[in-house]
Structures are given as C-alpha cells and as structure tokens.
Structure 1
Amino acid sequence: MTDPDPVDRLRPGMRVVVRQRIEHGVTDALGDLVAMDANTVSIRTRRGLVVIDRTAVTAAKEVPPKPSRRGAAHLAISMHDLERIMVDGWPPVEREELGGWLLRAGAGFTGRANSVLPLGDPGIPVSDAIDRCESWYDERGLRHLFSVFGPVGFSVDDDPLGRELLGHDYEPINNALVLTAAVATLPSEAPQGPGVRVQLESSPSQTWWDTWAAWDERVAPADEANAAAAAARTVMTSSPDQLFASLERGGAVIGVARVAFAHAWAGVFVVHVAPEHRRTGVALQLMGALADAARARGIPSMYLQVTRANSPARSLYERLGFSVHHEYVYLGG
C-alpha cells in the first residue's frame, strides 16, 4: 500500500504551505498555489515563483488567507477574504461570476445561497451589472437580492453599490453580523449527563435531517417535491468537508448543528435547539463538540453568522469567545 500524495487535496487558487526535502533538511514554501500537474506544484511566494517536484514533498496543507492587518488571525483577515471563505461553507447550488461579483442560486433556500456577493469590480458599469444580475435571477424565478457588507455600524447609503441599489428601489432586509473566534480559546464539549454526548456524522442521517427540517419552515415538508428541501440538502453537503452534530436525550434529538471546513476555517451553521430545551446548556454542548472537531483538524479560526436582532444567540456566542468581525445586509428588489 503506497502512502497518499500530500498534495492530492490541494487545488490551484488555494493559499498553501508545502514542505519539501532539500539537500540538508527540509524547507517550506508559503503562498498561492498557481499550478500543479503529475510531477510538480508551482507556488507563488513573496520571493517569486517556486516549482517543487512532487516526489520531494513531505507535507502540504491549505492555510488561511494572508492577514490584512496585525492581530489575532480571526480578526486580522479582511472582510472580502472572509466573505469569500464563507461561500464554501454554505455553497450555492449554482454560481456564476460577473467580474468580481458572485451570483448564487439555490431554489430560494436562504439569502446566502441566493444573492449577489460583490467581492470586487464587476467589469462593466454598475448599473449594467445590476441589470445583468436581475436578468440572471429572473431566468431562475428568484427574487433580486444583493448582500452588501461593511465594517460594524456601516450605513448602506454610504456604500457605493448600496446607494446604487437604493436608487433602483431596493430595500434593506435582514441585517446580520459575522462573528469570529480563535478555535484554541473555545470551550470543549461538557456533557450534561453520563453518556450524553454530541454525535458527529460526516453526512446527515435521516434522523438529523427530519429533526432539522421539522424546525425550519423553509423546507418542511422535506420531500422530493419541495425544491427548497432538495436545495438545502445540496447546500449543506457540498462543502469540502462538513460534520452534522446531534444531541439526544431520552430517546429524542433535542439539538442539531452543522460545521463546515473550507480554506482552513470552520464555519458554524443551523444551530437549532428544541424550544423546551433552550437555556439548558444544549447549544453550549453542541458548540463545544464543533470546537473540538475543528481543533482535531488543526483549524485555527471559526466563524458564524447571526442576525443583529437575535440578542440571545449573540450573547451566547460572545460568552464563548466570539467577537464581531463585520456585518452585512441584504438589499432586495
């Protein structure tokens, strides 16, 4: 049985660190993976392009984007880089690029999977780009929706795209915060009783799916005739790696959650606790299990999103060690 190739899981476009054997030891190359073939990997480092023979590679992994400023990694990352990372934590069913804008669609299941994410210049006049996006969503029978992000407290009408959209009669919907934390500082799982531990699965069991769907009106009933339910399953199982968490008491599942791993970050989604079990430590235990899973994978940072109006959830996450990185608002037309 041959050892796995350390670079098999890497893809061009990733920021990586690759360790290779040299005459008197080993050396690391850190940078953007720009090309790879059967024999070599090419990495653009700050010193220039490095081409490495794959037979000399001893270890390789994806690393987070280069920090935009000094400080803790989960805070130093730029808003644009974090928004880009979060796309693969909640990947849309369909995506298309318009210059630096990303158009996402998924049968209307969540704004994150069904909105335009402006990450740069669209390459054409903004008004024309908006028209192009509207036509794209019209073809799919979806609402016109843009996700506009900025620093905490930013105003939509201070954002150039935001002003343009407001001029097209778009209206703000659902302001949300992006919170981040250092995984090393997050509490571990603390079971609430003997044998009561969170179960983690690489794909959602039917019990996990039925439990979550029963609590989420967007996908109930979760059957094949429900396009949103089908899109939800695709979205939640299409990250590079993900785990589905569930906590059971007395023979019933009382809490579920999902964590996705992409670009050396962990993202937490769909934390749901049965109403009668809220404020009993269920969410804390679920979050502890997800943090443990991230630590086991060597993931240094974690993010999640929460609506600004959800004060109980915000308080919970802040007690765990999360802090606000930036915020975003949907503009719907």
Structure 2
Amino acid sequence: MLEITCTRAWPPLVEESLGDWRLRWSDGFTGRANSALAVGDPGRPVPEALRAVCDFAHDRGIPPMVQVNRDSANEHAIAAAGWAEAKGHRRGHEVTVLTAPLTTAPAVPGVAVLDEPSPGWWERTLGRDEDSPAARQVLTGGKVGYGVATLDGVTAGAVRGALVDGWLHVGRLEVAPGFRRRGLASALMGAVHTWGREHGAGHAVLEVAEANSGALALYAGLGYAPHHRYRYWVPAPGSCEDSTS
C-alpha cells in the first residue's frame, strides 16, 4: 500500500500499530509524523479507535489528528464520529499524492545528491521554527539522498529523496527566494530522480498540498500524475478526552 511506503520514507520517532492503523509521534515535526495513519482496519469500531488515537496523542503531548484517504470508508466513519477537517493545519490539510515513472536526467553543474546532509542543506530544508533534534532524526531516517544546488558558493536549493521498496519518496524541495526562476527546482528534481534510478527505484512519489498550485504545475510538467488524495481530521472541541486520565 502506497501510504505505508510513504510513512516508511518519513519515519516517525515512535510508531505503534492499532490494527492496520499507525499511531505516530515525532515531537510535533510535521503532520505526517504526528498523526494516526487511518488506512485499513483498526481492529475495533472506529469510535473506539479514535479514542485510542486521543490517548496516544495526549500521552505524548501532541494534538490528536488523523490522516485518512479522501472519501474512503474510514474517512466517512471518522466524520460520523464527530471529527472535523483540520482546516487550520499550517501546511494545508488537503493533500494530493502524485506518482511518476523514474527517468535519468542530464547532470547540471552545481547540482548534486549527497550521502550526508550538508549545513547548507539543513539551512534550506528546515525553517527557523522547525529545527530540532526530532526534525533532524525524521529527515535522516532510512536510505536518504540529500540534493543540493550550489551557486556562487551558496546552497541555493535543496531536496530530499528517500528509498523504500523500489520507490523514491521526494520531499522538502526548496529554492531560496533570490535564486528562483532559474530552473533550479527542475534541476534538483532531475538529480534526485537520477539518484533514485541508480539505487534501484522505478517510480517516484511525493505529497503536496492541494492549495500549492505552483508546485502542482511544476510536478505535472515533470510527468507526475495524481494517485490519491488524503486529508487530516481533528476531534471536535471537548470530544477527545483522555480515557487513561
């Protein structure tokens, strides 16, 4: 299942199973690594599963949240249990998952994929309010390639590629404002695609907020097509008390 591939490419610090569901914690760094992945059967009625989600989140000091495929049976059941779309999620609560076959691209001067993250890669990849030991552990988990674009001695752009089961998971593409509209985003994507092919991946997958029209246009131009969509959901106020307290 592609959702499992994606979560393995973005490994949380703590993960517990709830039937087929995955409970995830990473000290608040990103929704994907701090929510319950509600795919498959949780092994109990959904309202009971959601109470377990609440308990897991409360025990670890994060807001309860569920990631669930749009218009799935699980999403309908979560809505029926009184949860609401997480419209306040900072990076957008509605996400499109895109896939593409991998091809190699010509090398571009100044663009490379590193085996270890450089200081410049970290600077481009993490916002000032995101840098933490948890964030660094999530981003370096698994087999990862660290794409960088260097111009005039400056790390002008960065991207992350992670390998899981023949897939390349692409994320954290970022170009510094002063270096945009120079083709660096496409060059970084080409470099990480080539790296993925060289390491045995046949297809790429990435996740992008539906409101990010610029990124969607970029990826469509690179051959990506929609695979599925998911949303984040949160409990209604007062409906997610910790049953263990």
Change in Cα spacing, 1:161 to 1:278, as seen in structure 2 (3 Å) is: farther
Query: Which structure is higher in strand share?
Result: 1
Counterpart residue type for residue 235 of structure 1: V
Equivalent residue number for residue 218 of structure 1: 129
Deviations 1:225-274 (A, max 9, x none): xxxx11111111112x1110111111111000110001110000100000
Corresponding pairs, count: 230
Counterpart residue type for residue 233 of structure 1: R
Q: Deviation at 1:332?
A: 2.0
Give the structure, 1 or 2, with the largest relative contact order (CA under 8 Å, sep 6 or more).
2
Q: Deviation at 1:158?
A: 8.9
Equivalent residue number for residue 126 of structure 1: 46
- Aligned residue for 2:135, secondary structure, equals helix
1:69-88 → structure 2 map (5 Å cutoff): 81-88=1-8
* Contact kept? 1:189, 1:287, Cα under 8 Å: no
- The separation in 1 between residues aligned to 2:211 and 2:106, in whole angstroms, is 27
* Contact kept? 1:189, 1:284, Cα under 8 Å: no
Counterpart residue type for residue 205 of structure 1: S
1:5-24 → structure 2 map (5 Å cutoff): none
- The separation in 1 between residues aligned to 2:159 and 2:167, in whole angstroms, is 17
- The separation in 1 between residues aligned to 2:203 and 2:124, in whole angstroms, is 28
1:162 corresponds to which of 75, 78, 82:
78
Does residue 318 (structure 1) correspond to residue 220 (structure 2)? The answer is yes
Equivalent residue number for residue 179 of structure 1: 98
Relative to the length of structure 2, the TM-score reads 0.88
- Aligned residue for 1:88, secondary structure, equals helix
Equivalent residue number for residue 203 of structure 1: 116
Q: Deviation at 1:202?
A: 1.8
* Contact kept? 1:273, 1:283, Cα under 8 Å: yes
Counterpart residue type for residue 204 of structure 1: P
Q: Deviation at 1:171?
A: 2.9
Q: Which runs of 5+ in 2 are unaligned?
A: 88-92, 236-245
Larger radius of gyration: 1
- The separation in 2 between residues aligned to 1:97 and 1:146, in whole angstroms, is 14
Equivalent residue number for residue 105 of structure 2: 188
* Contact kept? 1:211, 1:253, Cα under 8 Å: yes
Q: Deviation at 1:100?
A: 1.2
Counterpart residue type for residue 202 of structure 1: D
Q: Deviation at 1:164?
A: 2.9
- The separation in 2 between residues aligned to 1:232 and 1:276, in whole angstroms, is 25
* Contact kept? 2:167, 2:202, Cα under 8 Å: yes
Q: Deviation at 1:161?
A: 2.7
Equivalent residue number for residue 63 of structure 2: 143
- The separation in 2 between residues aligned to 1:238 and 1:299, in whole angstroms, is 17
Q: Which runs of 5+ in 1 are unaligned?
A: 1-80, 223-228
1:231 corresponds to which of 121, 134, 143:
134
- Percentage identity across paired residues of the two chains: 35
Q: How well do the aligned residues superpose, as a CA RMSD in angstroms? A: 1.8
Counterpart residue type for residue 114 of structure 2: E
